[in-house]
Amino acid sequence: MFLKKILPLFSYLFHPIFIPIFGTLVYYYLSGINNSKELFSSLIIEVAIFTFILPLSFFYLLRSIGKVNTIMLSDISQRKIPLLFQILLLGILISKYVTWNLYPALFFFFLGAILSAFLAYILLFAKIKASIHLMAISALCYFVIGLNSHFELQNKLIIVLLFVLTGIIASSRIAMKAHSMKELAIGYVVGMLPQIILWGFWL
């Protein structure tokens, strides 16, 4: 009973809307880049605006006009517009701010996120609801694995923690009866594949 009450918290604490910021923070920590605090602050602000503030504002707009009813987007019909908006915002982010020449690894992380969002959008037409929670956390996992390889690090603890967290989030979604095991597995693969494919461009 205690676990059933605690598990849903992970769906909110690690909602997909937070994952881009987490990925940026991990990138900055693992890369060891010597950017000034001002540049780092600027990067975080840019990522937060395009992946958190604008999507959240757009969600409240959609909710106010009756297009969505929960930030979890549990209904298939409510997912199409937010996913397209996410693709648009991420496209602007990597074309103007997190560019290939400035932050190559982070650029491909967000490019992978665009591809994942597009795949999740296409699957909706087949009435397949991929878990966006698992899509986001698996993308982060394989991005961090790539960072460890790229920078020749031996920081295995963070990878282990991310895989454990993936299991907890999956359990959380099941406890909330938000997804079937199939939907969780599809979400995981949709998040993982673009990151692995894009390794070849920056590792």
pLDDT grade, residue 4 (50/70/90)?
low
Query: Is the predicted pLDDT of residue 173 greater than 70, yes or no?
Result: yes
Percent of the chain whose predicted confidence (pLDDT) is above 90 = 68
Q: Cα angle vertex 154, ends 150, 160, to 5°?
A: 100
pLDDT grade, residue 89 (50/70/90)?
very high
- Distance separating alpha carbons of residues 148 and 143, to the nearest angstrom: 9
pLDDT grade, residue 35 (50/70/90)?
low
**What's the one-letter identity of residue 165?**
L
Whole-structure pTM value: 0.92
Q: Which residues contact 161 (CB under 8 A, 6 or more apart)?
A: none
- Distance separating alpha carbons of residues 125 and 130, to the nearest angstrom: 12
pLDDT grade, residue 37 (50/70/90)?
confident
- Distance separating alpha carbons of residues 192 and 32, to the nearest angstrom: 24
Q: Which residues contact 41 (CB under 8 A, 6 or more apart)?
A: none
Please, are residues 78 and 69 in contact by the beta-carbon 8 Å criterion? yes
Which string of DSSP letters, residue by residue, matches 96-107?
Answer: HTS-TTT-HHHH
Q: What pLDDT shows up at residue 8?
A: 82
180-185 LR contacts (CB < 8 Å, sep 24+): 183/128, 183/129, 183/130, 183/131, 184/131, 184/134, 185/134
- Distance separating alpha carbons of residues 156 and 38, to the nearest angstrom: 29
